[in-house]
Each structure stands twice: as C-alpha cells, then as structure tokens.
Chain A
C-alpha cells in the first residue's frame, strides 16, 4: 500500500513540452513512473518523449484514462491548468509551479472544492512512492522503500529527511511535498491523515516551517485521533525574523502563534516527537520505531 500515487497511477504532464516539463517528465519516465502522455495547448497530435501530446486535459483523460496530473505550467497560467485538470476528472493534481498569484489560487481552490479531486501544492516538490512512482522533481535515488511516511512543506528538506531515514536502515512508504505557499490544496493535517490510514506506514515524519496554522492543526488532529502511530516533527525557521518572507511565500511570521517555537510547543503537547535539530530527524525516527 501507499498513498496518492503508485505503480498503477496513470500520469499526464501539463506543460509537457516546455523545458521544465520535458526535463522532469524524462526523469520520471526513467524512474519507471507510468507517464501516459502530456498536455500542451496547440501541440495536440504530436509525440514528445515517446508519449502522445494532447490539446486539452479532457482529451488526454479520454484517450489514456489518466487519473493523476503533474503541472509545470508557468505561474500566470497555472491556476487555469489546475481547474482544467479538475474539470476533466483528474483525481490527484500535483502542482510544482512556484509563484502563482494568490488571487488566482483563491479562485482555483474554490473551484475544485466540490469536485472529486485532490490538489497537492502548488510550489511543492511533488509526491513519491519509492519503487513505484515518482511524480515530482525530487532525486529518486534518495528515497528507498520502507515504512516511514513523510509530509513536508519544503523540497530539499524532504530529501534531507528521507536521506537521514534511509541511512538509519529504514525506508519510505510515500513522501508528500505539500508546498510552501499561503494557499495549498492538501494541508499538513490531510496528508498526515492519509498516512495514518495507510496500513504500510508505521511512522510519520512531519516537517513544517514558520507561518500559518497547518502544523498545529495537524498536531491536534493526531492527538484527537489517539496518536495511533508515532509522529516525528521538525519546524524550520526558529531564527527567522518577524514579518519577513523567507523564500517560500507562506513562510512569514505574522503573530505569536505561527513562530517555530509556538508550533513546536503545540506539537509537543499533542504527543509528537519534536526534534530541535534538523540533523536529528533520522535518528529520532529510528528511536521511535525501535529500529
């Protein structure tokens, strides 16, 4: 078992023929991911990387039965791409694009709300189920198969955590990069919930950062649901100054509740194994699973 994507997922790439889309689609195919085609408006009927190109997501879904989409469309058109995927019946929409205007995301997240789909991202590294499907931009070799699930707002910090976990002789069920924007489709809580319900996942790593309430909401949910599996948590940005955006558009301390310190305190109160040092994520995981 795994969550969101697996070896049977049929994936299309939106923004397939662009440089980003091409590069990462190639890497995904090389990894063994079942990429069934791509979408670039106006280039329908062509072939790219040995896969068919479609004009619309609807076409692609009809012809390939795709159920997952990964979006590399430039920021100005990305929200539209998300809504197009949702309308065409794509079940999991993974948006890598960074820099989408907030107003566009307000509209897109409202549009998809009552449709049967799940948005991951935007501004995220994607989702990987090791050995089955890499739907993202992460270096595949870092992620070995195992029983630890990862939820993270950050790209390279996810790789860091996975690497540390693997070096402890453990592995990953699914790693979910939820993204660092102020508005994202799948929250920390929802991603943790998916992994909590996954029978193969025995431990969850939850990596957050300053800004917003997502980690606190997730921590409270974990507690309310009886701490069924151990959760190891880290929050980046203890040293970040108030009121400044730290790279990710959502990483900004506004009030007293969204500092690293406040989040860690809430997580601790909810029974999460919080590490203060980002160098000790793997060690802590090994400790709590008794490996």
Chain B
C-alpha cells in the first residue's frame, strides 16, 4: 500500500525521525490557515506548497512551489488543488490533485551551506535482508545517479539477528562526508529511520532529499513510504490511511470482490486462475495480435458468482473487444467452471457484447468443452493453449 508524503512523514515522526513539518489542506482557504499556524509553530517565513498524489517527480510537473507570502500561498494552493498533475511517473492525463501539504521552508540561510542526500530502506531480494541505500547525490532521480555515477551510491545491509548496528549508522554518516553536530544528527536520523521501517512493516522507504540544514540539522524533506500489504493486519491504523482516490476505481471494486486485478490499456480482457498462468495468458494475447486489457487471477474457486463479477469488471473497460477465459482445472473441476461460465453468461444476458473464448484444461476438460459447446451461447471453446490463441486472433480480425 502506497502512502502520501504527509502520511509517510507522520509515520516517520512517530518514531522520532526529524521531518520537514507541514499541515495538509484540501482548499486554498485551509492552506492559508495552515500557513499561519505553521508560522506560529515553527517561525517559518516562507512556505512550500506540495501536491499530494501517489507519484514521484511532482516538482517537474509544477506540483511543488515556494510561496513567499500568504497571498502566494492562496494563489498557488488554488492553482494546484484540482489540477491534473503530469509527472514523469504518471500517465499522459496525469493525476488529479485533491490536497496539498503546506510545509515549512527548510532551506533558510545560516552558518553553513545546506546539502542534500538520498536514502532509502528496502529489501535486497538476492540476500533476503533489508538494506539502507544512500548517496551523496540527493534531490535527483536515483536511477540517473545509478547510471551516471554508480560509485556515489552506497549500501549498508542489515543482519536480521542484530538489526542496524551503531557502527553502520556511523559508517553512513562518514560516507556522506559529515562531521560535528551534523554527523551526530545523521547517526540519530539513520537509527530512528531504520526503527521506523521495521516497526511499521514497510517494504520501501525512500527519502529524497534528506537535508542537512544551514544549522546542521538532518531531516526528511520528502517521504515515499510503501507498507507491506501482507502485514497490514498488524497495523489497522495504517490501513485507514489508504486513499482510494489514488487508485484505479475498477481495481478498487475488484479488490472489494476479492479478485486480484490490474487494469491495462489493451483490447482483450482475460480471466485466469493463478498469477503465473495469468501473465502467460497476457503474453499469449499479445502474440495473437491483441493487447491485454487486464491482469486477473480469479483464484481457485471459479463459481458462477465469481465469474459473473469478473466478467462485469472486465466489461467496464469500453476498449475490450474480446475476453479470453483460461482455467487450468486442478483441484477445481473444469465442468464446474464451465457451468459457472454458462450460468454467469445467462444471468448477464445482453451485458456481454463481445466474443468470449473459453479454454478449460485439466480435470474434466472434455466434459467442460461439451458443456460450453452445447449451451447454445456465443462462446468459443478450446482445450489447448495454442487453440485459444488462434481463436483470439480469429475474433480480432
């Protein structure tokens, strides 16, 4: 589950990580009130208005702006709230901004120069351990840094038996070239950041930039936080942070129905049991000259009700020109699934207005094909995987 910047920062702060402070606002008026309050609490003169959407690169799309007085706060907030923010990580249409974070200005002048670093915490899949990845090159796209100056990216891997050790936190602060007060602050920052990561069951923290202020404080200016979905049962309070406005409405509906669904841009919908077979089916659609319109794993119990829900969700996409059902009957019997499809089709009547290709393999495959063929419905049946692909090609022509 992805979180907004302001939610991620809330979690960080709750574990003692220093953050750039801010208040979230839904309207321009709320933004002005937030700015006033923030000035009272922090003494900040200027404010940064930041669009809250689940996408990176917000600054590049005009979603992050500096306001030097309250009038500017109002104008900028008014312009950003409601806009469709297009960034390198969104679609061409962009993402609608529903709220902004009014944040304190932390780049104030002082005794030393400010500097920006990069830091993330994530799983190293090849070792099965968490690691802290960090760089002196903050505030930039880390993939670009990895490509151009890979020697400026460092890793610190965490032993699960001991957790982050003090020498590792010091190592990070030294590698970032810090000394004195800033060094001490960084050691504390890293320790509390890792504690926050572990305790919140996150699967990704990306703090870019981590800022050293002109008075040698270390703080998180941005926060990208992803919580491990499988661990949400331990964190009911985080579950409440889910913002369904940021998700595809069809995917939200599918999740509520217990279906594993990802919406895509193509013209052939598919319904498959098992994630690997579902991906393979998408690939086959492409080879047959179509483009997959979705990923959908219906799971082990493909009964009439589930099949009908799945059909309805797939058909919400007006680009769908055909649907391929690919079920490998194992424990679930093919003839039962076939009956489910026939029942769902009958119950939906005219709602199904595209050709359906059903490929049932495995337990009782022949019986299943017979059932479909004798149903009198406009359903193409197949048993072999290749046959199904040929039929897709046929109906697309």
B374 at the interface (CB under 8 A from A): no
B224-256 toward A: CB 8 Å interface, digit per residue (1/0)? 000011110110000000000000000000000
CA distance A213 to B230 in the complex (A): 22
User: Given the complex, which residues of A lie within 8 Å of B273, measured CB to CB?
Assistant: 156
B371 at the interface (CB under 8 A from A): no
User: Given the complex, which residues of B lie within 8 Å of A238, measured CB to CB?
Assistant: 282-283, 286
Assess whether B384 is in contact with A279, with CB atoms less than 8 Å apart.
yes
Stretch at the interface among A196-204, A219-227, A245-253: A245-253
B82 at the interface (CB under 8 A from A): no
Assess whether B275 is in contact with A102, with CB atoms less than 8 Å apart.
no
Assess whether A103 is in contact with B275, with CB atoms less than 8 Å apart.
no
A137 at the interface (CB under 8 A from B): yes
User: Given the complex, which residues of A lie within 8 Å of B234, measured CB to CB?
Assistant: 101
With contacts A107-B160, A239-B282 taken as known, whether A183 is within 8 angstroms of B128 at the C-beta atoms is yes
Assess whether B228 is in contact with A251, with CB atoms less than 8 Å apart.
no
B90-131 toward A: CB 8 Å interface, digit per residue (1/0)? 000000000000000000000000000000000101101110
B389 at the interface (CB under 8 A from A): yes
CA distance A214 to B273 in the complex (A): 24
B328 at the interface (CB under 8 A from A): yes
Chain A interface (Cβ < 8 Å from any Cβ of B): 23, 27, 75-76, 99-107, 109-110, 137-139, 141-142, 152-160, 163-164, 180, 182-183, 207, 209-210, 212-213, 217, 234, 236-241, 244, 246-251, 255, 260, 276-280
User: Given the complex, which residues of B lie within 8 Å of A109, measured CB to CB?
Assistant: 128
With contacts A106-B130, A236-B276, A236-B280 taken as known, whether A241 is within 8 angstroms of B264 at the C-beta atoms is yes
Chain B interface (Cβ < 8 Å from any Cβ of A): 123, 125-126, 128-130, 143, 159-161, 198, 201, 203, 228-231, 233-234, 260, 262, 264, 266, 272-287, 291-292, 295, 297, 328-331, 361-363, 384-386, 389
Assess whether B128 is in contact with A141, with CB atoms less than 8 Å apart.
no
User: Given the complex, which residues of B lie within 8 Å of A153, measured CB to CB?
Assistant: 276
With contacts A183-B125, A277-B284 taken as known, whether A209 is within 8 angstroms of B292 at the C-beta atoms is no
Residue of A nearest to B282 (CB): A239
In the complex, what's the smallest C-beta–C-beta distance from A153 to chain B, in angstroms?
6
CA distance A250 to B230 in the complex (A): 12
CA distance A138 to B198 in the complex (A): 35
With contacts A139-B330, A213-B126 taken as known, whether A156 is within 8 angstroms of B384 at the C-beta atoms is no
CA distance A213 to B279 in the complex (A): 18
A-B CB contacts (within 8 Å), total count: 166
With contacts A139-B329, A183-B128, A213-B125 taken as known, whether A277 is within 8 angstroms of B230 at the C-beta atoms is no
User: Given the complex, which residues of B lie within 8 Å of A239, measured CB to CB?
Assistant: 264, 266, 279, 282-283, 285-286, 291-292
Assess whether A106 is in contact with B201, with CB atoms less than 8 Å apart.
no
- Within 8 Å by CB of A160, from B126, B160, B277, B283, lies B277
User: Given the complex, which residues of B lie within 8 Å of A107, measured CB to CB?
Assistant: 160
Assess whether A137 is in contact with B230, with CB atoms less than 8 Å apart.
no
Residue of A nearest to B203 (CB): A102
User: Given the complex, which residues of A lie within 8 Å of B161, measured CB to CB?
Assistant: 110
CA distance A237 to B276 in the complex (A): 8
In the complex, what's the smallest C-beta–C-beta distance from A253 to chain B, in angstroms?
11
In the complex, what's the smallest C-beta–C-beta distance from B242 to chain A, in angstroms?
16
Assess whether B125 is in contact with A248, with CB atoms less than 8 Å apart.
no
CA distance A17 to B51 in the complex (A): 51
Given A251-B275, A276-B287, A278-B284: 13 more A-B contacts, CB < 8 Å: A23-B331, A139-B331, A155-B274, A156-B328, A160-B385, A180-B275, A183-B128, A234-B280, A236-B276, A239-B286, A239-B291, A244-B262, A247-B278
In the complex, what's the smallest C-beta–C-beta distance from B23 to chain A, in angstroms?
30
User: Given the complex, which residues of A lie within 8 Å of B281, measured CB to CB?
Assistant: 278
Residue of B nearest to A249 (CB): B230
User: Given the complex, which residues of A lie within 8 Å of B159, measured CB to CB?
Assistant: 110
Most chain A beta carbons < 10 A, residue from B277, B280, B291, B362? B280
With contacts A156-B328, A213-B126, A278-B284 taken as known, whether A101 is within 8 angstroms of B231 at the C-beta atoms is yes
Residue of B nearest to A182 (CB): B125
User: Could you show 13 A-B contacts with beta carbons less than 8 Å apart?
Assistant: A102-B201, A104-B231, A110-B128, A110-B159, A142-B362, A154-B276, A156-B276, A157-B274, A160-B361, A207-B276, A251-B279, A277-B287, A279-B384
User: Given the complex, which residues of A lie within 8 Å of B130, measured CB to CB?
Assistant: 106
Residue of A nearest to B295 (CB): A246
